[in-house]
Structure formats: C-alpha cells, structure tokens
Amino acid sequence: KAGVTQTPRYLIKTRGQQVTLSCSPISGHRSVSWYQQTPGQGLQFLFEYFSETQRNKGNFPGRFSGRQFSNSRSEMNVSTLELGDSALYLCASSLGLAGVGGETQYFGPGTRLLVL
C-alpha cells in the first residue's frame, strides 16, 4: 500500500500571501490530521478531519483552515502568511478517528514551508 503523500514537498512564500497544502491518506483511511513542526514549539496539532467534517482543532488562529474531500484527501490553507508560519507541516492518516484510544496515525513526509 502506498503511504501518505503530501504535495508540494517544499514551498517558499512571502509574508501576506496564502498557501494551500495537499495530503492524500493511505488508501482506506478516513481520518486526516495536520501538525505543525518547528524547532521551538515541536509538534503541534492543527486539526483532524474525518468523513469530511472537522472533528478537532488545535490552538491556532483562524488563518489556518482545512477541508477534506469525499475521497478522504485533505487540504490545508494558511492565509496572510507570517514569518512565524515557517515550519514543516505534517499530515497523518488513520483508519478511524485519530483521537480515539490506540488508533495509530501514519505520517507523510511533510511540506516544508518557508515564509520570507
């Protein structure tokens, strides 16, 4: 089975622009979660989508949004980019709801975003 794929892998944007990142989960997985990874803050949860519905949201401003399509693919959008948004954005998929018990999340390679 193919793993989680994310596109693009690298992205350079300038402040004020917006960006859309894409994630394709493992076939059959219905949950997609997004995380931001930075050297200072580590791994921080952004949101989880399951069956096209946002199930949980982390402590991020409204500039960060996402959606999930009927084929479970997900996109994340960041509007009005700030320098502090530079990070590795990781997508993870799971068979069931990611937030339940022993459900295992499988991560993609990430999209590295640099905001200048």
Partner 1 sequence: AQSVAQPEDQVNVAEGNPLTVKCTYSVSGNPYLFWYVQYPNRGLQFLLKYITGDNLVKGSYGFEAEFNKSQTSFHLKKPSALVSDSALYFCAVRRGGYSTLTFGKGTMLLVSP
CB of 14 to partner 1, least distance (A): 23
Q: Which is nearer to partner 1, 41 or 77 (CB)?
A: 41
Q: Is 60 in the site for partner 1 (CB under 8 A)?
A: no
Instruction: Return the residues of window 32-51 that contact partner 1 according to CB under 8 A.
Output: 42-43, 45, 48
For strand 74-78 and strand 87-94, is the pairing parallel, antiparallel, or unpaired? unpaired
Q: Cβ–Cβ contacts within 10 Å for residue 89, how many?
A: 23
Q: Is 28 in the site for partner 1 (CB under 8 A)?
A: no
Instruction: Return the residues of window 91-110 that contact partner 1 according to CB under 8 A.
Output: 92, 97-102, 104-110
CB of 99 to partner 1, least distance (A): 4
Query: Which two structure tokens, joined as six digits, stand for 43?
Result: 């791994």
Full strand arrangement of the beta sheet holding 5-7: 5-7, 19-24, 74-78, 64-68
Using CA atoms, how far residue 1 sits from 38, 68, 75, in Å, is: 29, 21, 21
Contact set with partner 1 (CB under 8 A): 4, 6, 42-43, 45, 48, 56, 58, 90, 92, 97-102, 104-110, 112
